[in-house]
Amino acid sequence: MSILIKNGHIFTAVDSYVADILVDDGKVRTIGIDLAADADKTIDATGKYVIPGGIDPHTHLDFPFGGTVSSDDFRTGTIAAAYGGTTSIVDSAVQQRGHALSQALEMWHQKAEGKAAIDYGFHMIILDLPESRLPELDDMVRQGVTSFKMFMAYLGAVMVDDTTIFQTMVSAADNGALICLHAEHGHMIDVLVKNALAEGHTGPEYHAITRPPATEAEATHRAIRMAEVAGAPVYFVHLSCDEALQEVQAARARQKYVYAETCPHYLTLDNSMYDQEGFEGAKYVLTPPLRDHRHQAKLWNGLRRNDLQVVSTDHCAFRFSDQKTMGKDDFSKIPNGGPGIENRLSLLYTHGVVPGLLDMNRLVEVFSTNSARLFGLFPRKGTIAVGSDADIVVFDPDEETVISAQTHHMNVDYNLYEGMKVKGVPQVVIANGEAIIEGGQYTGTPGSGRFLKRSTL
Ligand SMILES: [Zn+2]
């Protein structure tokens, strides 16, 4: 199958020009002006933007959490991702306590195989790491799982102690893996949650009240210093507030290998969502919580200045009707997470590029290129270049649409951005040289996504 994309405005992290792209056998073959090639299919991209397919390095498909499982699996979640211009994800496998990492990896391979519509890699979430298991970390790296994620919060569930974090960092300094951290001070939060419940505060708004910015900033600071001592690079997932951003900025000013992502919901929504009537606020119970409005400008500025390198979604969908309600009488039992895998590009374009906060090159960088660089996929992914995988989005910058659960493709009964008007819609999405979204329809084959064996940083 060959595709000729004619006359589109191509943007990469560093380029901006109008040309034709010939895609063949899954790869970008030729880029040039007025290409005279015979292709199986021709796409007229005149007046459209042509950008690398998005990479979402933080998703939770078919993910067990708090006694339930996230509602999007590898089929529905990756199809929704494709609708939104994302052509690769890095999802997370979770070690079971007392079990080998290879067992978790095998389980996640089974979840994805035959279902994924786009390419996927895995982080490995570490839950316990006796010394005898340390060699398993090197084994994961050899198998292309080159990042380890750990939780500094969720005491009594997935939280690990500082020894485990530091041990993993020391190993990573040697085997080249990237350490990804959920940075919140789990002990403080545990006390705040218990106190709130004891005082009869059971509503979803207390999710945010019991996780103040300082709990995130403290954990961010602690992890940075541990990584410095270990000599390992560190990447903060879902950074949500100015206080944590300041820690990252200070570390980067000291020339440390510290990276961080934020998510569209922190850039575009705030904690007033928790003030809604009844149980509505539970839709926004995700972690860290939505913050006061003042943080948004700081986060956008962090993206502009490259203190934040990536925008991921942390897509972890739970139905409002029967999953979020598990915490109807106790906010601490509401499954933490929200949907978003489908909406990242349009939100970044509408709230970033249209008001002039980001230019198109920077959008491409935070949407795709930097994830490829940090997670061992560049230059195979993350750019449009001869020889790269043909993961390409033809994007109409003028089309407008309204986000709604009525029309989205995620397997969940609400949308965080319900009713929000956005500008810029992916028109054609090509993954591995095949047009999988066209004319508003999914035209691919679930299962065609491949496991991405990633290299080290
Ligand atoms: Zn997450």
DSSP state letters, 138-158: HHHHHTT--EEEEES--TTTT
Distance between Cα 152 and ligand 1 center (Å)? 12
What are the tokens at 43? 């796409």
pLDDT of residue 94: 98
Distance between Cα 32 and ligand 1 center (Å)? 40
Distance between Cα 11 and ligand 1 center (Å)? 29
Is pTM, for the whole model, over 0.85?
yes
pLDDT of residue 357: 98
Distance between Cα 335 and ligand 1 center (Å)? 12
Distance between Cα 287 and ligand 1 center (Å)? 8
Distance between Cα 304 and ligand 1 center (Å)? 23
Distance between Cα 332 and ligand 1 center (Å)? 17
Distance between Cα 139 and ligand 1 center (Å)? 24
Distance between Cα 90 and ligand 1 center (Å)? 11
Residue ranges of the chain with per-residue pLDDT less than 50: none
Distance between Cα 91 and ligand 1 center (Å)? 9
DSSP assignment of 12-69, as one string? -SS-EEEEEEEEETTEEEEEESS-----SEEEE-TT-EEEEPEEEEEE-SS-EETTEE
Cα-Cα end-to-end distance for the chain: 33
pLDDT of residue 66: 85
Residues with CB in 5 Å of ion ligand 1: 314
Cα(263)–Cα(63) distance, rounded to whole angstroms?
19
Distance between Cα 57 and ligand 1 center (Å)? 10
